[in-house]
């Protein structure tokens, strides 16, 4: 009985020394890194990284961020995941020289912990006018454009102000970053209470966060990060593939390879290579385009331009249709991306290069067609009449009739003079399956 009481007392003492909160000393820290524009690949990587960090029992997820901005849709997906995460998220703008511009500023404000390395900056969070480059930063020229720009700016300002109030950060500067596109250095951001702390590196960040209590999903969480192990979650093949194909330049190239691959397959049925490669590239391009803010008019113009260039090879238009196709392709590629977000434009040099390549391909097809048109026919009646053939057999009952080998086939022939095997004769006419021939010169039998 006394031993049982001692065991109960020891158990109560042990429970009394367990720290409050959900994290235990030495629990894992999950590290995610984003060093490019915020897009579909970044959103997929961070969303799955947050889920895996929670599944692995991480006490903290650190997002090491360096971005010029990105797409609004991808940014809002990331912010929703951060706000719903049962694991605290610390966004750390690092290393020195990095930035959290535009969409990065929103993500920083949404995180439970906002930290920056010395020599970094954030801000310039004015939304980009969709469809008209630079329109949000310029005075509107008509009432409709002005109303649309004001709606976008007001929506973005309210969104970031709500995030600032949720995390207890400077809401006035956040709204100023949206309306006036201002930026801050790390030291100024800490002084204005835009961020929580400045850390030289990741170990310094974890030392400063040790013992800090946070309210996460309605519960108090105390961090024990001083001696915590760090697990870096790198992008897998799926994220890397998504990052490649959602690059607008790569998507445009995939469209061209897909269309020309299928065209090659239709012109040479049975080869299989063009159909397989073209089909795969076209499906990848279509998947990428449905994730990107594309202009449907741009896609239609690109396809119309390619169709015109292909049609030029079959129509006697003397280059008019082909030239129109090149113009339609260039215009469609220029307006393909329905956004001016950084990292999601198509270089004009690439557009011109693809147009020139298509023009050269078109010129090559036209050149081959003209050569084939000038070449004399070597098949059918045109190639048969006038050709020189050799008599292979003579009928015993009628020396004026026999057989010849022409165009890989055996033909019955008749002649005005007797025929001899091995004699060279010229075809003068065709009557159904019988050829009319004439002797060219006397030929010895068996020659």
Alpha carbons within 13 angstroms on the beta-carbon side of residue 2 total 0
Q: Is the pLDDT of residue 21 over 50?
A: no
Q: Are 156 and 74 in contact (CB under 8 A)?
A: no
Give the pLDDT score at 265.
78
Of the candidate CATH numbers 3.60.21.10, 3.90.226.10, 3.40.50.300, 3.20.20.70, the domain formed by 24-238 belongs to: 3.90.226.10
Convert the pLDDT of each residue in 30-86 to its tens digit. Answer: 999 999 889 899 999 999 999 999 998 899 999 999 999 888 889 999 999 999 999
Determine which of 136-140, 218-222, 391-395 has the lowest per-residue pLDDT on average: 136-140
Q: Does position 149 have pLDDT exceeding 80, yes or no?
A: no
Tokens found for residue 159 = 């969104």
User: What pLDDT is attached to residue 77?
Assistant: 93
Residue 239: pLDDT over 80: yes
| Of residues 341, 346, 345, the one with CA closest to residue 70 | 341
Residues of each domain in the chain carrying CATH 3.90.226.10: 24-238
Q: Among 7-11, 222-226, 269-273, which is the least confidently predicted range?
A: 7-11
- The predicted model scores a pTM of 0.69
Instruction: Classify burial at 174, counting beta carbons within 10 Å of its beta carbon; exposed 0-12, middle 13-18, buried 19 or more.
Output: buried
pLDDT(335) > 50: yes
Is residue 78 within 8 A of residue 111, CB to CB? The reply is no
List the Cα angle 156/157/160 in 5-degree steps: 85
DSSP assignment letter at 136: G
- Rounded to whole angstroms, the Cα distance separating 55 from 51 reads 6
Alpha-carbon separation of residue 213 from 28, 177, 383 (angstroms): 17, 29, 93
Nearest to 177 by CA among 160, 196, 202: 160
Grade residue 373 by pLDDT with cuts at 50, 70 and 90: low
Q: Could you read off the pLDDT of 342-359 as tens digits, one per residue?
A: 767 788 888 888 888 877
Degrees to nearest 5, angle at CA 122 with 89 and 84: 25
Distance of CA 114 to the CA centre of its chain: 31
Interatomic CA distance for residues 79 and 103, integer angstroms: 10
> Which segments of the chain belong to CATH 2.40.50.140?
380-439
The pLDDT of residue 3 is above 60: no
Q: What CATH number does domain 380-439 carry, 1.20.1050.10, 2.70.98.90, 3.30.70.520, 2.40.50.140?
A: 2.40.50.140
159: part of which helix (H) or strand (E)? helix 143-167
Express as a percent the part of the chain with pLDDT over 70.
Answer: 80
pLDDT at 143: 64
């Amino acid at each position: 009985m006394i031993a049982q009481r001692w065991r109960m007392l020891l158990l109560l003492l042990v429970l009394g020394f367990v720290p409050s909160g959900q994290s235990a000393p030495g629990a894992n820290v999950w590290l995610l890194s984003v060093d490019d524009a915020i897009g579909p690949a970044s959103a997929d990587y961070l969303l799955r990284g947050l889920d895996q960090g929670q599944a692995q029992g991480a006490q903290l997820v650190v997002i090491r961020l360096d971005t010029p901005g990105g797409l609004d849709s991808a940014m809002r997906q990331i912010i929703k995941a951060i706000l719903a995460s049962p694991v605290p998220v610390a966004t750390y703008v690092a290393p020195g020289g990095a930035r959290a511009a535009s969409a990065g500023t929103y993500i920083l404000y949404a995180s439970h912990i906002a930290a920056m390395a010395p020599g970094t900056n954030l801000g310039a969070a004015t939304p980009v006018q969709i469809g008209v480059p630079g329109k949000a930063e310029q005075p509107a020229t008509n009432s409709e454009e002005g109303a649309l720009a004001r709606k976008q700016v007001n929506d973005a300002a309210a969104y970031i102000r709500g995030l600032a109030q949720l995390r207890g950060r400077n809401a006035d500067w956040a709204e100023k970053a949206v309306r006036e596109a201002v930026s801050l250095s790390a030291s100024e951001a800490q002084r204005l209470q835009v961020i929580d702390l400045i850390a030289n590196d990741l170990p310094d960040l974890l030392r400063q966060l040790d013992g800090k209590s946070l309210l996460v999903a309605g519960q108090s969480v105390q961090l024990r990060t001083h001696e915590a192990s760090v697990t870096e979650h790198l992008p897998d093949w799926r994220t890397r593939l998504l990052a490649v194909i959602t690059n607008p330049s790569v998507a445009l190239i995939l469209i061209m390879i897909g269309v020309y691959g299928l065209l090659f397959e239709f012109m040479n049925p049975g080869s299989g290579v063009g159909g397989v490669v073209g089909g795969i590239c076209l499906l990848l391009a279509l998947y990428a385009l449905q994730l990107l803010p594309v202009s449907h008019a741009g896609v239609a113009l690109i396809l119309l331009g390619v169709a015109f260039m292909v049609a030029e090879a079959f129509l006697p238009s003397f280059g008019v249709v082909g030239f129109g196709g090149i113009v339609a392709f260039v215009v469609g590629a220029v307006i393909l991306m329905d956004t001016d977000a950084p990292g999601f434009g198509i270089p004009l040099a690439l557009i011109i290069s693809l147009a020139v390549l298509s023009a050269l391909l078109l010129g090559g097809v036209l050149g081959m067609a003209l050569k084939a048109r000038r070449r004399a026919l070597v098949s059918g009646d045109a190639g048969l009449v006038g050709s020189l053939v050799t008599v292979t057999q003579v009928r015993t009952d009628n020396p004026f009739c026999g057989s010849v080998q022409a165009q890989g086939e055996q033909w019955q022939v008749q002649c005005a003079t007797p025929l001899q095997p091995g004699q060279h004769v010229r075809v003068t006419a065709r009557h159904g399956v019988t050829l009319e021939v004439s002797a060219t010169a006397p030929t010895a039998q068996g020659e």
